[in-house]
Structure 1
Amino acid sequence: MTDWTELLRPETRIQLLKNHKEQEPRKGRDEIDFNPVAKLFVPWGAATFLISECDGDGLAFGLSDLGFGSPELGYISLDELAEITGPGGLRVEEDIHFRADKPLSKYAEDARAHGRIRA
């Protein structure tokens, strides 16, 4: 069993957990629209995920695009993503070159307009 923490660099995990801790007491009122911290992708397919926060158990919030033309905001199990194995043993990867330049909601608006995440 692969642990979700293996998907992300240490500095990425720290920021995701920090964002979650900051957001948690605000649930339901004036939630923070964080910039995505991580971009995860499936090297053998079209799936892409922009993650803005994560609790200590691997439950993340972000924008998911499975490649079917309908990206959506919601909760993502990083444990489940860590378990995915593709051809030749490929795994879900973090895009180490990704740098967000706008809040998650703006990426979601753009993705809905174009049918895919463009980041």
Structure 2
Amino acid sequence: MQLIPQEIKQHIPKLYETEEQQDPLIYVKLFLDGWSWYITEHSIDDDICFGYVVSPFGSELGYFSLQEIQEVKGSLGVGVERDVHFKPTPLSKVKKAS
């Protein structure tokens, strides 16, 4: 199963396209066991993403691999899921809510 459908991927900016923006849009939220990955940009090959990561240890902006997080299984043996109800949201609003 594809974690991010093509119809959503086509709207996500490529890496570095939003680096000059003060408050870029988050397009996708992925989650698993207290972790959330909010995607603002992705690479041409769709593996490397840039975004906001929230974990039990804190939160930060950074790069992450979709392939690597898809391989992770949570405490109940379930993998990473996409929040199907998440709508594109400015980074500042996501930061306030997390």
- TM-score, normalization by structure 1: 0.68
More strand by share: 2
* 1:46-61 equivalent positions in 2, closer than 5 A: 46-57=34-45, 58-61=47-50
Structure with greater Cα Rg = 1
CA displacement 1:9-60 (0-9 Å, x = unmatched): 22222222xx11681xx76xxx234210000001xx1001110110123110
Q: 1:110 to 1:88 in 2, by over 3 A?
A: closer
Q: 1:21 to 1:61 in 2, by over 3 A?
A: closer
Residue 14 in structure 1 maps to residue 6 in structure 2: no
CA distance in 2, matches of 1:66, 1:12: 24
Gap runs ≥5 in structure 1: 112-116
Q: Describe the SS at the equivalent of 1:72.
A: strand
Count how many residue pairs are aligned between Structure 1 and Structure 2. 96
CA distance in 2, matches of 1:63, 1:107: 12
Verify the 8 A CA contact 2:27 2:89 in the aligned structure 1.
no
Gap runs ≥5 in structure 2: none
Q: Which segments of structure 1 move beyond 6 Å, counting only runs of 4 or more? A: none
- TM-score, normalization by structure 2: 0.80
- What letter is aligned with 1:75? Y
CA distance in 2, matches of 1:22, 1:66: 24
